Amino acid sequence: MLKFCHYIVMTIKNFNDLVFNSHANHPNGVQAKLDLGNNTEISVVSNIGEGSGLYGNVSEGTYEVAVFHNDNMIPLATYDDVIGHQTEEQLTELMANLQGDFQAQFIANLYIGRDEKNNELGLTNHA
């Protein structure tokens, strides 16, 4: 008797999968967007050369990142939806956390952290 096994192989996307193009709003900037699956998209930007206005510079190996889940920006820090000055390694780690079995819990924890900080500061979330 012949049996078949079906395996689903999920390749975790990382920094090397990002394709950078000229930034639409910053003449001295670049941007990459990548679909991570499960209705999650990452947007990574950085200044080039003497550019300014973005929280990172390609020549220093740093980048600014935002993530959208179900078309909503998710809070990557307790104080902001974007985080800047991230290295390639930090971006790869973030991307891994946004994919796979623990994605939902990772995203939920980001919201919990933001809400706890807002409560600590006496602020309410009007999202």
Residues 61/88, Cβ–Cβ less than 8 Å = yes
Query: What sign has the CA pseudo-torsion 94, 14, 59, 24?
Result: negative
Q: Is the pLDDT of residue 23 over 60?
A: yes
Three-class HEC string of 64-109: EEEEEECCEECCCCCCCCCEEEECHHHHHHHHHHCCCCCHHHHHHH
- pLDDT (mean) for 4-8: 61
pLDDT of residue 115: 93
pLDDT of residue 5: 62
pLDDT of residue 100: 85
pLDDT of residue 4: 64
Q: Who wins on pLDDT, 124 or 18?
A: 18
pLDDT tens digits, residue range 73-109?
A: 999 999 899 999 999 999 999 999 999 889 999 999 9
pLDDT tens digits, residue range 35-78?
A: 999 999 999 999 999 989 999 999 999 999 999 999 999 999 99
